[in-house]
């Protein structure tokens, strides 16, 4: 079956337009509640959110929908997505719900779910919810309605969890950090985590007003952090996105490190501690240089589809622990069940403190290949997969690149576009090959 509402990370869209409307979200919660009630007599659901103004409205709709199905609700308030995942597991709840559109602007919002184990739910569960949405509601009577309460100090509990993932014999006392919380869910949590581990912390992106989440700050706009780190002569800058599940890091020179590089660093740190990983999962977009560097360490590397959900599925299938995306979604399943920007940052800083080296020094043997991506807009009905000229040009380019690069052609999931990406050791070569291939589609 094809999912009608769920995408790769829950349900997301523009607030006030289907499906992100209060009436639909109430129906959604009622349907989820009915699915839970099939296997549990009295389910308990945790609800957290980011700082968007629409979060209040959607929180109320979710609360009403769950209560109407006889499901109890625990409200967490603003909390990072991985914080909700952690507390769902720690509180032995039936389900965790996050109201967030992650790195999107404030006009969007979304609903995503975590299992009782703090993991993303599978396609079968989502299809069961969509089937329940098609059924008539079954409202609980007054005696069987769910109840709602607020969990005291949800943020404090999550802060302690984050700190527990950092080595007990290390501190951050000699580090000066700039933390950019994107005016999002981690605006209170993130600075406290690093401060309580000993770092000198200054902040940007910690003044949410409901409308400014991800606006010119955070992991999707790291230039603000680069400027702050340089101006304040900090050792590192840590940029999170609106729901704090992705990370970008900046060093004292203003150099920005992406998720591919940080994933490699996390692998190296475990090897140096004698915990050699069997394998690592990246995505179709992971830089070729990281793949080559991992293989030199004797680490198997495989690629999943773009999306941390697919990285997690591949890790679980293989029984591996480490994976991630270039965007900064990093998974360390020996630390958390889901991607966590704060925990990932702590793993990177732990590597620096343990080795006495900077991030740049730890990554000295990894030089990312230049990537060129060209978006080609498709004409109505255009069959790019059957384009013989593109296929021939792809074979020619791959032959010329050999092991020194790669080609990736994929359709956009949201627009009538084909993305043509070429990686090569030389920037001009990557540009030339990408233009050559894109021209076969444009012609």
Q: Does residue 32 contact residue 133 with C-beta atoms inside 8 Å?
A: no
171-190 burial: b if 16+ Cβ within 10 Å, else e:
ebeebbbbbbbbbbbbbbbb
Q: How many helices (H) and strands (E) does the chain have?
A: 14, 18
Sign (positive or negative) of CA dihedral 131, 136, 137, 139: negative
Distance from C-alpha of 58 to C-alpha of 70, rounded to nearest angstrom: 19
**Cβ atoms < 10 Å from Cβ of 206:** 18
Please choose, from the candidates 327, 352, 351, the residue with its C-alpha nearest in 3D space to the C-alpha of residue 341. 327
Q: How far from 11 is each of 102, 130, 329, 358, CA to CA, in Å?
A: 12, 11, 19, 40
DSSP string covering 9-34, please? TBEEEETTSTTSSHHHHHHHHHHHHH
Instruction: Name every residue whose Cβ is closer than 8 Å to that of residue 130 and which is 6 or more positions away in sequence.
Output: 1, 3, 4, 5, 6
Residues whose CB is less than 8 angstroms from the CB of residue 368 and which lie 6 or more positions away in sequence, other chains included: 258, 260, 261, 287, 289, 290
Apex CA 271: angle with CA 346 and CA 119, to 5°? 55
Residue 115 bears catalytic tag:
no
Residue 416 DSSP SS3: coil
Task: Give the integer Cα–Cα distance in Å for 169 and 350.
Answer: 10
* Phi, psi (degrees; rounded to nearest 5) at 285: -95, -5
Q: Which of 54, 102, 115, 326 is catalytic?
A: 102
Read off the tokens for 125. 């569960």
Radius of gyration of the chain (CA): 23
Q: How many residues does the chain have?
A: 443
Handedness of CA 259, 261, 264, 265 (dihedral sign): negative
Answer whether 391's CB lies under 8 Å from 383's CB.
Answer: no
Joined tokens for residue 404:
């020194």
HEC readout, 325-358:
CCCCCEEECCCCCCCCHHHHHHHHHHHHHHHCCC
* Residues catalogued as catalytic: 102
């Amino acid at each position: 079956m094809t999912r009608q509402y769920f995408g790769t990370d829950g349900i997301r869209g523009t607030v006030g337009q289907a499906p992100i409307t209060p009436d639909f979200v109430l129906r959604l919660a009622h349907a989820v509640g009915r699915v839970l009630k099939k296997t549990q007599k009295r389910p308990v659901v945790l609800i957290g959110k980011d700082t968007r103004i629409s979060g209040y409205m959607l929180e109320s709709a979710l609360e009403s929908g769950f209560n109407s199905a006889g499901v109890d609700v625990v409200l967490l308030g603003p909390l990072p997505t991985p914080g909700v995942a952690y507390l769902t597991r720690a509180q032995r709840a039936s389900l965790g719900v996050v109201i967030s559109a992650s790195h999107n602007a404030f006009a969007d919002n979304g609903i995503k779910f975590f299992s009782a184990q703090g993991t993303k739910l599978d396609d079968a569960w989502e299809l069961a919810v969509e089937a329940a949405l098609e059924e008539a509601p079954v409202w609980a009577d007054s005696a069987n309605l769910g109840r709602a309460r607020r969990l005291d100090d949800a943020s404090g509990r999550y802060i302690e969890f984050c700190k527990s993932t950092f080595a007990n014999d290390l501190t951050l006392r000699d580090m000066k950090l700039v933390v950019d919380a994107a005016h999002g869910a981690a605006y209170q949590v993130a600075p406290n985590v690093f401060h309580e581990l000993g770092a000198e912390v200054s902040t940007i992106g910690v003044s949410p007003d409901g409308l400014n989440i991800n606006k010119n700050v955070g992991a999707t706009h790291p230039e603000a952090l680069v400027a702050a780190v340089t101006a304040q002569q900090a050792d590192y800058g840590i940029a999170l996105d609106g729901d704090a599940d992705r990370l970008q890091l900046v060093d004292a020179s203003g150099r920005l490190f992406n998720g591919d590089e940080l994933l490699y660093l996390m692998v190296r740190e475990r090897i140096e501690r004698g915990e050699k990983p069997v394998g690592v999962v990246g995505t179709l977009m992971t830089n070729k240089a990281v793949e080559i560097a991992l293989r030199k360490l004797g680490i198997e590397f495989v690629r999943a589809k773009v999306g941390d959900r697919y990285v997690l599925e591949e890790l679980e299938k293989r029984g591996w622990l480490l994976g991630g995306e270039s965007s900064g979604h990093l998974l360390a399943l020996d630390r958390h069940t889901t991607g966590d920007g704060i925990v990932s940052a702590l793993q990177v800083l732990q590597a620096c403190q343990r080795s006495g080296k900077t991030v740049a020094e730890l990554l000295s043997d990894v030089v990312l290949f230049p990537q060129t991506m060209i978006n080609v807009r498709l004409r109505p009905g255009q069959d790019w997969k059957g384009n013989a000229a593109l296929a021939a040009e792809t074979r020619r380019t791959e032959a010329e690149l050999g092991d020194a690069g790669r080609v990736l052609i994929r359709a956009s999931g949201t627009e009538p576009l084909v993305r043509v990406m070429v990686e090569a050791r030389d920037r001009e070569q990557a540009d030339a090959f990408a233009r050559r291939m894109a021209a076969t589609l444009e012609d």
